Amino acid sequence: MSLLTFIQNLNTTVTEIAWSIFVLAWAVGWALRGSPIPIFRIKRGGQDIIEDAIIAAFFLAIGSTIFYLISYIASQV
Amino acid sequence: MWNVFEILFYAQLLASLSYSLGSLFYALPIPVYGIKKWGPRLISDSIYVMVWTTIYTGVLGFAQQLLSLLGVSWGSYFQWLYQVENYDIIQYEIIKALLDALQYLGGTFAPFMLFSFLLAVSTSFIEFLTIISQMIYQYTGIFVALGILLMSLPFRIGRSIGASFIAATLVFYVGLPYLPTFLAQLDLNILNLHLPPNPSVTFILQYAIPEIFIANLLMPSSYIILLSGLSIGLGNAIGGYGSRVPFMVEIP
């Protein structure tokens, strides 16, 4: 396995993990936010986690598209 | 030798890796600032490295533009170096001959011995300078690309070293050929010093040798120290704290 494929595989793995962590954070965030615990800080923390997860998903979607495009073009040239 | 664009391709791959790592850290449902702060940091770092890989040829072209703006070139610089080296060796031989003659005459030759030693040191210094210059001249592109590759490692492992790689290469690439002009402006260009055909001992002791010493050893080394200071400053500007991306990545 060359260094190139190693980094590419690592990249794919990390992206997959990031997507699953996004789903996890989404679930955890909504669970915290919707939990019947009358402590405002916990609910607020849940909302923060949801917001971060949404931003992370945005970055992931944009970034993986652009980087895939770049590596595709670079491999074609 | 490595292909420059292969290095840049690896830098790009590592940048994409650190980007996905950054978004992974962004999404982590652990509300600890020490971990969460790596999210936007890694993302902006990767964008910064992408900007560097994109402007790579532009940076090299800019350095060449600066060179021609200063009115100097590497060819004339190398020519100057070889001439100075030649001159030094000739002076060394003259002093050596004088030393031998004085040995037979029985005069005081201690200062001559000291100065011939100084001349030998300055000759080797100029040779060292030639080697360094050739290294920088031949491997400018490789060094800058390696600096970008080091900067692209995730978690800022090689960020400062990569930035100083880039900065030192650029500063020395532009600055070194200016050395002859710098010395000429200080009226210390060694090639303008002409020895009379029959130099007297006092002339050599009081004028020629100090001049050679200052113009060969003192001023070039202080010029190199000056360039190193500049490259440290540029390195801090390139790889200091926080990546300087022209737009905000961090969304509050």
pLDDT for residue B135:
92
Non-local (6+) Cβ contacts of B57 within 8 A are none
Q: Please say whether the beta carbons of B189 and B215 come within 8 A.
A: yes
Spell out which residues of chain A touch residue B28, defining contact as CB-CB under 8 Å: 21, 25
Pairwise CA distance, residues B216 & B88, whole Å: 9
Min Cα–Cα distance to chain A from B63, Å: 26
pLDDT for residue B97:
81
Cβ neighbours of B237 (radius 10 Å): 11
Q: Where are the domains of chain B?
A: 4-239
Min Cα–Cα distance to chain B from A11, Å: 5
Cβ contact, residue pair B251, A55, below 8 Å: yes
pLDDT at residue B26 greater than cutoff 80:
yes
Summarised one tens digit per residue, pLDDT across range B44-75 is: 889 889 999 999 999 999 999 999 999 899 99
pLDDT for residue B251:
45
pLDDT for residue B252:
41
Cβ neighbours of B124 (radius 10 Å): 13
Highest mean predicted confidence (pLDDT) among A68-77, B9-18, B86-95, B114-123: B9-18
pLDDT for residue B55:
92
- Size of chain A in residues: 77
Non-local (6+) Cβ contacts of A35 within 8 A are A42, A43, A46
Spell out which residues of chain A touch residue B43, defining contact as CB-CB under 8 Å: 59, 63
Pairwise CA distance, residues B109 & B23, whole Å: 74
Burial of B97 (0-12, 13-18, 19+ CB in 10 A): exposed
* ipTM (interface pTM): 0.86
pLDDT for residue B108:
61
Amino acid (one-letter) located at B190:
I
Q: What is the DSSP letter of B71?
A: T
Pairwise CA distance, residues B175 & A56, whole Å: 44
pTM of the model: 0.83
Structural domain of A57: 3-76
Pairwise CA distance, residues B95 & B201, whole Å: 10
Cβ contact, residue pair A11, B20, below 8 Å: yes
Pairwise CA distance, residues A28 & A24, whole Å: 6
Q: Which residues of B53-77 are buried (b: 16+ CB within 10 A; e: fewer)?
A: beebeebbeebeeebeeeebebeeb
Count of domains forming chain A: 1
Summarised one tens digit per residue, pLDDT across range A1-59 is: 788 889 889 988 999 999 999 999 999 999 988 888 888 888 888 888 898 899 899 99
